Chains A and B, each alone.
Chain A
Amino acid sequence: MQIKNGKDFWAGIMYIGFGLAFVLVARNYSMGSALRMGPAYFPTWLGGLLTLLGVIIVARSFKSHLEHTWRLFEFRNKLFFASVVIGGLAYWGQAHLNGISPWFAQAVNGLAIALFFGAFGKRSLSWILLVTVLFGYLLKPLGIVITTIILVFGAALAGHEFKFREILFLSIGLAIFCAAAFVYGLGLPFPVWPELRG
């Protein structure tokens, strides 16, 4: 037995994962009957079907006429497991431990997310997704001007060429544009500069 079509194999695994997750989580809710469906009824059926299709797709990947390697993109196991462990601990900690400073909790969450995105694909993927998340966290404390500059620099690092001066001008230009268009123009409730009161 050998995996012939890696694309199908991983797609199938993904569907099985999603399907099982939905079925298992739905067990927490009441099933009801066909007459009066509970909140678990529809998701359980859908999740079951999804799992079944996933199994079919995986099975098909062993006897496919298309050949694809099973390594579709770079994947770093260590980062992935680290992120799962840290993320799991953080989730457990937030539910069971009292008196953790919100800053610390945020930092641990952030670390788990960063490791998670770092585990997949090429550098471009990790950087783009990381700066997206970073933008969400930094906008309130740092204001749109500084956050924009950070985002543009981070995004530029995802590319093939990085020219410092070019990106500097681009980021400053975009920062001015964002402040003018989104905050003053469209009236979005973003701070422009860091709030010093903390």
Chain B
Amino acid sequence: MELLLSNLSLGFSVALSLTNLWYCFIGVLLGTLIGVLPGIGPLATIAMLLPVTFTLSPTSALIMLAGIYYGAQYGGSTTAILVNLPGETSSAITMLDGYQMARQGRAGPALGIAAIASFIAGSAATLLIAVAAPPLAEVALKFGPAEYFSLMVLGLVGAVVLAHGSVVKAVAMVLLGLLLGLIGTDVNSGVARFTFGVPELSDGLGFVAIAMGTFGFAEIILNLEQGEHREVFTAKVGKLLPSMDDFIYCVPSIIRATCLGSFLGILPGGGALLGSFSAYAVEKKLTKDREKFGKGNIRGVAGPEAGNNAAAQTSFIPMLTLGIPSNAIMAMMIGAMMIQGIAPGPQVMTQKPDLFWGMIASMWVGNLMLVILNLPLIGMWIKLLTVPYRLLYPAILLFCTVGVYSVQNSAFDSILTALFGLFGYICVKTESEPAPMLLGYILGPLMEENLRRAMLLSRGDPTVFFQRPISAVMLTLAILLLIVIALPFLRKKREEVFVEGET
């Protein structure tokens, strides 16, 4: 307990420094600004804003990125409530009841309860991270290469099982990501692999180019193809704070969703999406007047919002303690860390306590800022929603291209981004969810390295992965997950869950 307090006070001293407060603020503001734009989810938002953080110190950069993440998520909910267009799948759920509330003239309370629920859930989840991270990191420090390799396999399988769409395609996407991650100079032999003599490739494919192309550019292109149909409720937002009755009615939902979301966020493959889907399902089951769900029940906003924020926060736990991303957004965070020269893993906590605890404390600060920032600024976001897309997208595109170019000041990254934009477009057209690719890309070199070391230590005996108990448990879990998901009964159930979420 004392240790926790001293750690947290270290964290807050870092997070509350003027510079970091400023970057946290800018992150939350920019994140909301981009996240509010319809059709642009957190993944695309972070990808687009990633280059902005490169000039900062590692701590400030990560604080800002985390701020961008919550901002984008909250921005997405705002759009879902006001425009009936989710910025991303995890706010698709909020849309169901939020938009109905807006149509009934209760957009204000919907936006207000979304902010409050997110804040409560975020605070609880931040505390959970502070409590759970150190012991986990300690366990992870004892991991050898075999354990690490198995952990990565489990993480990737988990991500695949929980991704929506076809499992086989998701596994293929992971493999493709792993392969793309191997492009560049092989650390062991010094051989430049898959570079075709292009000098720019010897350091590997640019992370920013991949993320921005596949997620940012592809989204812009698809939005353009679809044209714009939107209907914004601008006039009747009304007062923002929900009434006391509304709030009391929502409290049990918020608590349930926070617990559920916090748990789901830690799982490999978990994250905001799973958090909001399951929270909504639980609320629908447990609330007495369930026929009101989908018709503007305020619990249908509070639950998923609390759930997705809690899960979004706790998914930082495996990222911070193990260096393993549980979803594509965490992969992005790890990518940002590596660009800043920090090797992700359990040693971050002991070697860079100010970064580790500063980031955790900043999560709470960021959540508070979101509430303070968004309640008065909501009018501005609504104005932004009325700007026609034909004027917005050239500006977004411009900032993206500048961002990509500025990473290495080379035209090569621009070409790469365009190629991955095409790739992202084809992925959407062939219904292959590209998010697992990013996980694979981040883990590719790490996996190869740990596989090599494990095999070297075991003198080439592949059974080592099953001889070491922790590794064996993790691999067995991974295999079980794959078998379970292949069972016809569960496959149907899984499809139902995702279909229910999408309609």
The interface of chain A, by Cβ under 8 A from chain B, is: 7-8, 10-11, 14-15, 18-19, 22, 25-26, 29-30, 33-39, 42-43, 46-47, 49-50, 53-54, 56-57, 60, 72-73, 91, 95, 113, 117, 120-122, 124-125, 128-133, 135-137, 139, 148, 151-152, 155-156, 158-161, 166-167, 170-171, 174, 178, 182, 186, 188-190
Contacts and interface: CB of A to CB of B under 8 A. Distances in A.
B422 A125 contact: yes
Nearest to B171: A53
Interface string B378-412: 00000000000111011101101110111001111
Contact of B175 (A7, A50, A132, A159): A50
A120 B406 CA distance: 27
B411 A35 contact: no
6 contacts: A10-B426, A26-B194, A37-B455, A60-B168, A122-B225, A133-B418
A47 B188 CA distance: 20
Contacts of B224: 124, 128, 158-160
B472 to A, nearest CB: 19
Contacts of B333: none
A129 B456 CA distance: 45
Taking residues whose C-beta sits less than 8 angstroms from the other chain, chain B's interface range is 35 or more
Contacts of A42: 182, 447-448, 451-452
Contacts of B447: 42
B179 interface: yes
B189 interface: yes
Nearest to B447: A42
A39 B418 contact: no
A172 to B, nearest CB: 12
Contacts of A186: 55
B187 to A, nearest CB: 10
A57 B169 contact: yes
A135 B414 contact: yes
A7 B432 CA distance: 9
A100 B475 CA distance: 55
B414 A57 contact: no
B500 interface: no
A151 B171 contact: no
Contacts of B462: 34
B296 interface: no
Given A47-B179, A132-B421, A174-B395, 20 more contacts: A8-B431, A22-B179, A37-B188, A38-B189, A39-B186, A42-B451, A42-B452, A50-B176, A56-B168, A57-B166, A117-B422, A120-B422, A129-B217, A129-B221, A133-B414, A135-B401, A136-B411, A155-B397, A159-B224, A160-B224
Contacts of A125: 221, 225, 422, 425
A152 B221 contact: no
B265 to A, nearest CB: 29
B425 A121 contact: yes
B415 interface: yes
Contact of A174 (B394, B404, B430): B394
A129 B220 CA distance: 11
A39 B451 CA distance: 12
Contact of B405 (A35, A37, A136): A136
Given A14-B426, A29-B191, A132-B401, A43 B418 contact: no
B421 A128 contact: yes
B288 interface: no
B172 interface: yes
B429 interface: yes
Contact of A182 (B227, B402, B415): B402
Q: Which of A22, A47, A122 has the most CB of B within 10 A?
A: A22
